[in-house]
Amino acid sequence: MYIRGRGKIGYLTGEKAEPNAKDSAHATWDGKNSMVMAWLVNAMEEDINANYLGYSNAKDMWDNLNQMYSDLGPIPEPVLTSELLSDPRLEPNLNQPVLHSCKNLTYLQLSNNQIEKVVFPKGLDSCKNLKYLDLAFNRIEKVVFPKGLDKLSTLTNLEFLDLGYNMFNNDILSSINALPSLTTLYLYYNRLNEIVDLQGLDSLNNLSDLDVSFNPIEKFIFPKGSTGLRKLKTLDLSGLNVINGSSLLQSLGSFPSLKTLYLSYSQFSDSTTNRDYLHNLTNVEELILDESFLHISLLQSIAAFTSLNSLSMSNCHINGILGFQGLCKCVHLQELDLSHNNLMGTLPSCFANLTSLRVLDVSSNKFAGDISSSPVKSLISIQDLRLSNNHFQIPVSLAPLFNLSELKKFYGENNDIINAEIESHSSVPKFQLNTIMLSCCGDGGKLPEFLHHQHDIRKVDLSHNNLTGDFPNWLLENNTKLEYLVLANNSLAGLLQLPNHSLMGLTTLDISHNLVQGHIPKEIGEYLPSLTTLDISHNLFQGHIPKEIGEYLPSLTTLDISHNLFQGHIPKEIGEYLPGLKGLNLSRNAFDGSIPSSIGDMNSLESLDLSFNQLSGEIPDHLAEGCTSLQLLVLSNNSLQGQIFSTNFNLTNLLRLQLDSNNFTGRIPDSLSKASNLAGLYLSDNNISGGIPSWLGDISSLKDIIMPNNHLEGPIPLEFCRLDNLEVLDLTGNNYISGSLPSCFSPPSITQVHLSKNRLEGQLKEAFNTSFSLVTLDLGYNRLDGSIPTWIGRLTNLTYLTLSNNNFEGEVPTQLCKLKQLRLVDISHNNLYGHLPPCLDVTALHDTDHDNVSPSSISMPPVDSPSMPPTVGSNYTSPTPTTAEAPNGPPMRKDETVEFNTKNNSYFYQGKALTGMSGIDLSCNKLTGTLDKAGYKYCSVEGMLEGFFSLSKGYWS
């Protein structure tokens, strides 16, 4: 009997009319109404599920059921109480369960009902046939028994009791001791604490399964010489605060029938674990130690578990070489999991003794060696072999494993995948795999020949191996049960051809980053109707998107055809045919026309990327209204125009908005303020005008504000001072942004500031004085005045500083000498005077490794054409994110560009060209000093081009 859920009001109670909602009887009526339905549907399942609506009240239904099941004996009576519902409308005093007439009840589930501090249910003593009782996930602190009942002694038939996720303390044990038939007891996640005496459970002679995991227990006192708990087979002690792990293991000898022992999330980090402690655990067959802190010496002691057939030690912080441990003496082992540790060296040769092993997982370690000489090829019973994320040498042919006739699953990704062997066409493996995961990192060659002999494959991942040849259409033809095929990032060519039969189970097809060409087969939905993910991006496909791709793919959630040669209009019905899409990426093709309004029908869409096409027109109102789940919207590098959004904006979940390089006009709409979790706003290279909205300062999640090369005007809002998470601010080249920088504007996380080519004025004062993460500060071509502030010496990560073409005056502050990361300094065209700081030596900076403060790791050649647009930081280039990326991650950071001016030319640098550059421009000031004493030299730049150093129009002695 399940006491959960809500019924269909008005159908299931015997009352003629529903009481008034304010009537005190309404809660009871509503509870009865729900309880009868919930009990009947769960007890009779589909027999009653389809027919219960035919009855007007509970009595008629009950009489019919009694007649229907009369040959099975009396039906357990339902319990009609509102107090058992977890209904937020119930009053607080109604969370005390009450039971009536339950003499035939055998199964009672009261879990997750917010019962607290409580009396055990009144009437429970009459439930003498109860066998199953679940009170988990409540807030019960202790048991207060009804009058005349000092123990649960009446529940003599109770076999299963779940009290997990409550607030019971040690006192509960003495109450449970009165349940002689109990076989299963769960007390996980309670408040059993410090020293727990299991003597309180000594009379539970039939108990076979005990779970006291995740309690703040420090020590157990185990019964000695008693007959209790002699039948205990499964014990879960995970997540305890036990001080002496070795002593605990020694004490477990009190349970001679123990077969399964859970000790996950425990502390056994000392190296003194002795196999003498374990001699009484020879019957244990399954030992789970996952997520514990273990010393490698425990593997030697494992030999004491002579009956062990399953051992799991995943993520146990084990360090060192596995060597010839006692582990190899566990010849009955069938499952071994050593994954996610720090084990190194080769697998010990004695592993060949583990001939009963069916599952071996050593993934995510530092193992090495060629599996051609590894003991794994001797594991004749192996079915599931997991070697991923190590340093093994694995031939893509899998030839060393051909004799493992039981092998079904092989995971070898992120190793050294080699193609050194020349396969023989007559070499046929004895196995029939259903899973092969062998992605990254191969050295090329053709697809392995053995795959031609496989006919039962469900999952294949051979991505990132630089494999050549034609797309393997035969793989789809030969494996009718295929579910998952990933061949991304290879060099496969030819056409995508469909099999002659439907692959009803194929859900994922990813052939991205290859050289496959031709058209998308219009029958793809008919032959692959269960596809949820289709990724053919970064290929040579061409033509139009077939309309049929939507008509026959109702389950599709991710479609990525970006970086191809597609052209024409995006089908206007795309949103109607694919309403369940979560990710759609059509970027970097040659699509033209307008954005289909039907995309607004995709109310599950989370990521939409249409960038780098030839789209025109406006953003459809229906898109901004209907795509309520949208988190990533990328429409950059098209020819879109008009207002950004209308007032009917409903993209409240938007995290990143990229509209750069279009022809949008008008103001930044106030409706965008509804996107209260926005992290990245990219509007560069448009014709947007008006002031910078002050409400941007209310979006505390903003990390990137990149809006250069527009017509924005007015001051930087004072509200920007609240943007503590801001990392990049670029308002370069708006020309009309004016006023002074707010003194309070000093975001602690900001790394890039580009405000050049505007009309900012006044002094810097305290702006940026605590922005200690700042790497780039570009304030050139403004009207700033006053002195260069001395606090600049505290910005220890500052690497690129441009203050040129302003009205700064005074001396160059000596605090610049503290900036050890500084590589580019341009303070030209100001009114600075006085002596140069003697320590300002750009050559020293040139010799320092600055990769750790590089704004980008992507190599881009320097652009040194004087005809380049005179902007700083506005030329951000990077691949737009694909729909495969989680849209709720950090904003897609675009590569920073820094402008350096010298000899009337502008030079633009990105990536390694930027990080390899060093220079200083002090020209057009009134500085004095001696060059030799200042230590300046004409420096070269790491094999790329000459560095810049300009002192023209200065005064020198």
CA 129, 132, 134, 140 dihedral sign is positive
Phi, psi for 222 (deg, rounded to 5):
-95, 145
Say what the pLDDT of residue 847 is.
46
The enclosing domain of 272 has a CATH number of 3.80.10.10
Which residues does 401 contact at the CB level (< 8 Å), separation at least 6? 371, 376, 377, 385, 407, 410, 429, 431
Instruction: Supply the range of the domain harboring residue 327.
Output: 233-345
Q: How many residues does the chain have?
A: 957
Top-confidence residue, 550 or 863: 550
Say what the pLDDT of residue 917 is.
65
Query: Of the candidates 302, 320, 345, which is a domain's last residue?
Result: 345
What single string gives the DSSP state of each residue in 883-897?
A: TTS-TTSS--PPPPE
Which residues does 5 contact at the CB level (< 8 Å), separation at least 6? 34, 37, 38
**CA distance linking residue 43 with residue 36, whole number of Å:** 10
Phi, psi for 375 (deg, rounded to 5):
-70, -10
pLDDT above 70 coverage of the chain, percent: 73
Query: Of the candidates 294, 314, 345, which is a domain's last residue?
Result: 345
b/e 228-264 (16+ beta carbons within 10 angstroms → b) = bbebbbbbbbbbbebeebbebbbbbebbeebbbbbbb
Q: 3-state SS of 239-255?
A: CCCCCCHHHHHHHHHHC
**CA distance linking residue 378 with residue 376, whole number of Å:** 5
SS3 607: strand
Residue 890 lies in a domain: yes
**CA distance linking residue 685 with residue 73, whole number of Å:** 80
Residue 277 lies in a domain: yes
Given a contact cutoff of 8 angstroms between Cβ atoms, the answer to whether 886 and 895 are in contact is: no
Say what the pLDDT of residue 67 is.
57
pLDDT digits (tens, 9 = 90+) for 790-813: 999 999 999 999 999 999 999 999
**CA distance linking residue 138 with residue 75, whole number of Å:** 29
Which residues does 72 contact at the CB level (< 8 Å), separation at least 6? none
Q: In Å, how far are 179, 379, 702, 911, 939 from 943, measured between CA atoms?
A: 83, 54, 39, 15, 11
Residue 383 lies in a domain: no
Residue 739 lies in a domain: no
Given a contact cutoff of 8 angstroms between Cβ atoms, the answer to whether 388 and 414 are in contact is: yes
Given a contact cutoff of 8 angstroms between Cβ atoms, the answer to whether 911 and 895 are in contact is: yes
pLDDT digits (tens, 9 = 90+) for 345-403: 999 999 999 999 999 999 999 999 999 999 999 999 999 999 999 999 999 999 999 99
Say what the pLDDT of residue 242 is.
75
pLDDT band at 297 (very low <50, low <70, confident <90, very high): confident
Q: How many domains does the chain have?
A: 2
Given a contact cutoff of 8 angstroms between Cβ atoms, the answer to whether 279 and 256 are in contact is: no
**CA distance linking residue 131 with residue 108, whole number of Å:** 8
Question: Above 80 in pLDDT, residue 53?
Answer: no
Which residues does 630 contact at the CB level (< 8 Å), separation at least 6? 605, 606, 607, 608, 651, 653, 654
- Dmax over Cα atoms in the chain, in whole Å? 116
Residue 911 lies in a domain: yes
pLDDT digits (tens, 9 = 90+) for 818-875: 898 998 899 999 999 998 887 665 444 444 443 433 333 222 233 333 232 233 333 4
Question: Above 70 in pLDDT, residue 102?
Answer: yes
pLDDT digits (tens, 9 = 90+) for 751-787: 999 999 999 999 998 999 999 999 999 999 999 999 9
Residue 926 lies in a domain: yes
H or E element, residue 310 = strand 310-312
Residue 919 lies in a domain: yes
Question: Above 70 in pLDDT, residue 40?
Answer: no
Written as one letter, the residue type at 639 is S
Count other Cβ atoms within 10 Å, centred on residue 870: 17
Residue 279 lies in a domain: yes
* Preceding peptide of 744 cis, ω within 30°: no
Query: Of the candidates 330, 345, 360, which is a domain's last residue?
Result: 345
Question: Above 90 in pLDDT, residue 75?
Answer: no
